[in-house]
Amino acid sequence: MKRQALIILWPAFLVAGVLETLTFAVVDPADLRWFGGPQIDWPPVAIYSVTLFIYWFCIAFAGALTALLAVPEDEVNKRGYWPR
């Protein structure tokens, strides 16, 4: 279980870092606004950190869902994940 979590989380972290780099190569964190309203008054490091964690969570969730759906039905039934 721990190994599978690391298999999902590590590549998700790397891709989140790349996505964040690409995002903030185009977007200036000082120009961000709350849905067109007031400007976000966070320091740039906080914006970078929150963005990284949002990207990381979304990518890890997609990877975990893929790993869950890749389990063959015989193995799921054998382990008793679902009631019969």
C-beta of residue 31 within 8 angstroms of C-beta of residue 25: no
- What are φ and ψ of residue 80, in 5° steps? 80, 35
C-beta of residue 44 within 8 angstroms of C-beta of residue 20: no
CA pair distance 66, 9, nearest whole angstrom: 13
- How many C-beta atoms lie closer than 10 Å to residue 61's C-beta? 12
User: Which residue shows structure tokens 């120009």?
Assistant: 31
Domain boundaries, the chain: 14-70
Q: Per-residue pLDDT tens, the chain, 84 aa: give them.
A: 788 899 999 999 999 999 999 999 999 998 899 898 999 999 999 999 999 999 999 999 999 999 988 888 887 777 665 555
Instruction: Tell me the two tokens of residue 62.
Output: 């997609």
